Amino acid sequence: MLIGGFFAAIGLLIIQSCSKTPIACFTTTPGMDSIHVNTPVIFDARCSVYAGSYNWQFYNNVDSIAFTPTVTKTFKDTGTVDVYLLVTWGNQYAGETQNIVVQP
C-alpha cells in the first residue's frame, strides 16, 4: 500500500507542478543602465519562476536566439535593443521584454 501511495503522491505533484504559472524575469551584468558597446553583457533568467525552458530574442539581430537560462551578448552598435525572454513550464508560458540602451 505504501508503494501505491508513493506513486499517487508523485502523480499529484506532477499534475500540480504542470498547473503552475511561470514568471519570466531577467537581470544583466553589468546593470541595464551600464551597458556599453563591445563589452560582454550577461543576461540571466535564473530569477524566473517555474521556468522549464527559455527562449531569448535580441531584436537588433533576428538570428540572435538562445535557449539557455544565461546568455552572453556583445553589442557592436549604440542604440536601443529590445530583449525578449519567453519561459515555459508545461503548457504555461510567460514573457518579459526590456529595452536595453547600449551606450558608447
> What pLDDT band is residue 66 in, cutting at 50, 70 and 90?
confident
> What pLDDT band is residue 61 in, cutting at 50, 70 and 90?
low
Strand partners, 99: 82
- For 60, other C-beta atoms within 10 Å of its C-beta total 16
> What is the average pLDDT across 91-98?
96
> What is the average pLDDT across 11-32?
78
Cβ 25 vs Cβ 54: under 8 Å: no
> What pLDDT band is residue 19 in, cutting at 50, 70 and 90?
confident
CA pair distance 104, 95, nearest whole angstrom: 29
